[in-house]
Amino acid sequence: QGRLVESGGGLVQAGGSLRLSCAASGFSVGTYIMSWYRQVPGKERELVATISHIGYNPTYPNSTKGRFTIDRDNAKNTITLQMNALRPDDTAVYYCHAFHNVGNKERYWGQGTQVTVSS
């Protein structure tokens, strides 16, 4: 049974930075596609960043590209999200996600960590 636990959220002023961490257990992140999502109440969950098994060329939507950086540390079995130049519209609950796109196609979600950016 896979498990993901996010940490690092909090309150930050606009223009500031936060680093989120996602600790995985029960599986190895090196064999999974790892992503960060965020969700605001009343809206659909939004992809923030994703990184392949190998870790080359992580991808971002326009809303986070150039400000956020996803990375993996397979030795520590963790995924991070470095968030810079934060804006109030980045305020959301941020979720870590793991997907194994072969075999049983296991999928895991963390419980989320709140990020609040003050204006």
Pair type for strands 18-25 and 3-7: antiparallel
Confidence of residue 1 (pLDDT cuts 50, 70, 90): confident
**Predicted confidence (pLDDT) per residue in 3-61, tens digit:** 999 999 999 999 999 999 999 999 999 999 999 999 999 999 999 999 987 767 899 99
Ranges assigned E (strand) in 1-119: 3-7, 10-13, 18-25, 33-39, 46-51, 68-73, 78-83, 92-99, 107-109, 113-118
